[in-house]
């Protein structure tokens, strides 16, 4: 990985933007995207896409990341000056407490922590019950409700994880927040950079949606605006390889992911064949993945007259927490796969995928 790519990863993973509050990420992404494409579009939900003109007789191919990361929203200010929250995206309650966040208000941005019960306050010999996020307290240090309100805190304010991106000691893996899905954001930019000066056999539509984490809301707007013939979600999936590999899917350092099934998408078999063949012809390592969750591919596939859709990406540990761990080799494989798909998806391939 070169230094420019590393700096892009640090930039986008450390930027803070949860669902409905993606503006900072979108602004940075648009600035980086513009010189790489022929036209830039933004839709009413804030999604940002660039169009790279290729062969005019080829299909319109969309690769879509998403800008948002998981976070929280203030739901109530307590008399103590602390807050109750609602979730923006899926969280495991065990990972939420005793973490650092940033509180975004109309008047400013403030540090805030998620509260936890000190062991000193637990009944001796008893076990603490798992707390629900709805019962958790977020603490920005305000002395009472009036002071919090004086600093501009209101229901509807956003709370976003804060952490630094670092490389592991062996220089093979990375620890960061928001790799779901700043991975896709960086991959779009890296792929377009690799495709500079290349005329693809298709029209490429590459960008990122908003509000994926709260119900795949941004993808329909993008698809209806730009009307792709085929859709690739670029997203990361949950690795399950901490202790054992056998019987578990999503392994670090085993290549790009081809998501063949989740509860919302059954990957069209001819599209699956094309991705496999492309990876194998280009000596790109890949692995199959069956997921219990969905991606923007689910929302895209039912738009227009039906858009063949699939998710490709990589596996990452500890998704939807402050500290995701992922492998640089897998990132490189996923990026290479996106570039190869863009170079090879011509009208003949598209007709085969469609069964024409």
Q: Is 316 exposed, middle or buried (0-12, 13-18, 19+ CB in 10 A)?
A: buried
Looking at residue 31, its pLDDT comes to 98
Residue 30 has pLDDT above 70, yes or no: yes
- Output the pTM of the full model: 0.94
Instruction: Provide mean pLDDT across the span 51-78.
Output: 97
Task: List the one residue out of 209, 168, 216 whose CA is nearest residue 67.
Answer: 209
Residue 263 has pLDDT above 60, yes or no: yes
- Taking all residues of the chain, what is their mean pLDDT, rounded to a whole number? 94
| Phi-psi sector, 16: left (phi>0), alpha (psi -120 to 50), beta | beta
Which of 245-254, 296-305, 328-337 shows the lowest mean pLDDT across its residues?
Answer: 245-254
Looking at residue 104, its pLDDT comes to 98
Looking at residue 292, its pLDDT comes to 87
Task: Examine residue 181 and say whether the peptide bond preceding it is cis (omega within 30 degrees of 0).
Answer: yes
Residue 259 has pLDDT above 90, yes or no: yes
Rounded to whole angstroms, how far apart are CA atoms 269 and 266?
Answer: 8
Residue 118 has pLDDT above 80, yes or no: no
Secondary structure (DSSP) of 200-231 = -SSEEEEEEES--TTTS-HHHHHHHHH--SEE
Looking at residue 250, its pLDDT comes to 87
pLDDT-based confidence at 107, cuts 50/70/90?
Answer: very high
Domains and CATH numbers, the chain: 3-69+177-353 (3.40.630.10), 71-161 (2.40.30.40)
Which of 3-12, 120-129, 260-269 shows the lowest mean pLDDT across its residues?
Answer: 120-129
Active-site residue, selected from the candidate residues 212, 213, 254, 332: 212
In the residue annotation, 323 being an active-site residue is answered as no
Residue 125 has pLDDT above 60, yes or no: no
Looking at residue 108, its pLDDT comes to 96
pLDDT-based confidence at 215, cuts 50/70/90?
Answer: very high
Contact (CB, 8 A) for 51 and 205: yes
pLDDT tens readout for residues 165-209: 999 999 999 999 999 999 999 999 999 999 999 999 999 999 999
pLDDT-based confidence at 128, cuts 50/70/90?
Answer: low
pLDDT tens readout for residues 231-253: 999 999 999 887 666 767 889 99
∠ Cα 330 25 213 (to 5°): 70
- Give the three-state DSSP class for 161: strand
Residue 49 has pLDDT above 60, yes or no: yes
Q: What percent of the chain has pLDDT over 70?
A: 95
Residue 130 has pLDDT above 70, yes or no: no
What beta strand segments (E) does 67-220 contain?
A: 71-77, 83-88, 100-104, 109-114, 138-139, 158-161, 166-167, 173-176, 203-209
């Amino acid at each position: 990985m070169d230094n420019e790519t590393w700096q892009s990863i640090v930039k986008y993973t450390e930027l803070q933007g949860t669902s409905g509050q993606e503006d900072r990420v979108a602004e940075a992404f648009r600035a980086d995207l513009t010189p790489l494409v022929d036209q830039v579009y933004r839709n009413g939900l804030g999604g940002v896409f660039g169009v790279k003109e290729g062969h005019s007789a080829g299909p319109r191919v969309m690769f879509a990341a998403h800008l948002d990361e998981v976070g929280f929203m203030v739901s109530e200010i307590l008399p103590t000056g602390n807050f109750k929250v609602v979730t923006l995206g899926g969280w495991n309650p065990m990972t939420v407490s005793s973490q650092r966040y940033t509180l975004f208000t109309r008047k400013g941005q403030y540090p805030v922590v998620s509260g936890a019960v000190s062991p000193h306050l637990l009944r001796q010999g008893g076990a603490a019950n798992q707390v629900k996020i709805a019962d958790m307290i977020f603490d920005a240090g305000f002395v009472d409700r009036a002071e919090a309100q004086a600093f501009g805190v209101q229901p509807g304010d956003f709370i976003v994880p804060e952490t630094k991106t670092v490389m592991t000691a062996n220089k093979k893996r990375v620890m960061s927040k928001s790799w779901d899905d700043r991975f896709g954001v960086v991959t779009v930019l890296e792929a377009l950079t690799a495709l500079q000066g290349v005329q693809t056999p298709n029209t490429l539509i590459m960008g990122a949606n908003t509000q994926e984490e709260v119900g795949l809301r941004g993808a329909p707007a993008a698809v209806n605006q730009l009307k792709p013939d085929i859709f690739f979600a670029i997203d990361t999936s949950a690795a399950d390889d901490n202790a054992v590999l056998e019987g578990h899917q999503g392994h670090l350092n085993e290549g790009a992911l081809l998501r063949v099934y989740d509860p919302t998408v059954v990957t069209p078999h001819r599209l699956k064949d094309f991705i496999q063949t492309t990876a194998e012809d280009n000596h790109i390592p890949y692995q199959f993945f069956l997921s219990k969750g969905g991606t923007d591919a689910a929302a895209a596939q039912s738009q227009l007259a039906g858009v063949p859709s699939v998710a490709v990406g990589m596996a990452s540990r500890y998704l939807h927490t402050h500290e995701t761990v992922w492998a640089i080799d897998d990132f490189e494989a996923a990026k290479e796969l996106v570039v190869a798909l863009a170079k090879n998806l011509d009208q003949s391939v598209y007709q085969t995928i469609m069964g024409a």
